[in-house]
Chains A and B, each alone.
Chain A
Amino acid sequence: MRDFVLKRMVALVLPFVTMLGLYVIFHGHLSPGGSFSGGIITGLSIIAFNLVFGTERGEEKISERLMALIESFGALWYGAMGLVGILRGASFLMNKGAGVPVGQPGSLYSGGLILLITLGVGLKVASTMVTLFLELMEEED
C-alpha cells in the first residue's frame, strides 16, 4: 500500500488540497462553502497524510494533543464570540446589531463575526474528523 508512486503523488497533491480547504474556510462568507465543508476538506488532507505516510509521521506533523486542544476549544470559541454581543450591550451572538464593525462587502474582512466563527468551527470540524479516524485506526491493529 505504501509504495513509491503513491507517496510521490500524495506529496504533490496534498498541499493543494490543504490550501483548498483553508480557502473554503476563509472565504465562507464570500463564496459557496463554509465551515463544515472546508473543515472536512482540511481534515481529509491530514487523514490522507496519515494513511500514506503512517501515523507515526503524522503524529510528528500534528500531534494528537494539539488535535484534542483544537477539538475541545472549538465550541468554546463559538461561545466566546457570542459573548462579544453581550459585552457590547446587546443580546447573545448578535453581530451587526451589537455594533461589531462590518467591513466593505466583498472584501476578505467583512461580515463581522462570521469570519471568526467560521474559522473556529472549521478547525474544530477538521480536528474532529482526524480524531475520529485516528481512534478507529488504532482500534484496527
Chain B
Amino acid sequence: MANKVAIVLLVCIGLVMLVAISELPLYGSPDTPAQNEVAERYVHGTLGDTGALNMVAAIVIDYRAYDTLIETTVLFTAVIAVFMVLKKGSTGKGEQG
C-alpha cells in the first residue's frame, strides 16, 4: 500500500517538474532573463577592470572575492571537523571526556 502511494506521489512530482521545465527558456536563446545588463557589464568590462583573460576567474576572485574568501574557510572548517572526530589525541586529555 505504502509502495503504491509513494509511486503515485513520485509520478505527480515528476509531472510538476516536467511542466516547470517546459516553461524554461531554451538553452542559449538570447531572450533569457539572465541576459540582462549585469551580464553585459561583466562580458565587456572584465578585461579593463581586472586584466584577466579568464572571465570566470575574474568574477570569482575579483568581483566576488568575499564569496571565495568564505569558501576557503568552509574547507578549513571541514578539515577541523574531521580532525575533531577522527584524530586520536596525543596528550591524553581528550580521551577522558
| Given A82-B69, A132-B78, A132-B79, residue A118 in contact with residue B61 (CB < 8 A) | yes
Contact partners of B87 in chain A: CB under 8 A: 135
Answer yes or no: A121 CB below 8 A from chain B CBs: yes
Complex partner residue of B61 from A71, A117, A132, A138, CB under 8 angstroms = A117
A interface bracket (residues with beta carbon within 8 Å of B):
35 or more
The answer to whether B57 touches A28 (Cβ under 8 A) is: yes
How many contacts between A and B, using CB within 8 angstroms?
Answer: 98
Q: From B51, B54, B86, name the one whose CB has the most chain A CB atoms within 10 angstroms.
A: B51
Minimal beta-carbon separation of A85 from chain B (angstroms): 9
Binary interface encoding of chain B residues 47-65 relative to chain A, with 1 for a CB under 8 A from any of its CBs, else 0: 1011111101110111001
Number of interface residues of B (CB under 8 A): 27
Q: Which residues of A contact B82 (CB under 8 A)?
A: 132, 135-136
Does chain A have a CB within 8 A of B27? no
Alpha-carbon gap, A79 to B76, bound state (A)? 14
CB-CB nearest 9 A-B residue pairs? A102-B51, A111-B52, A29-B52, A93-B65, A75-B72, A110-B51, A114-B61, A29-B57, A128-B75
**Which residues of A does B touch, CB under 8 Å?**
28-35, 71-72, 74-75, 78-79, 82, 93, 95-96, 102-103, 105-106, 110-114, 117-118, 121, 124-125, 128, 131-132, 135-136, 138-139
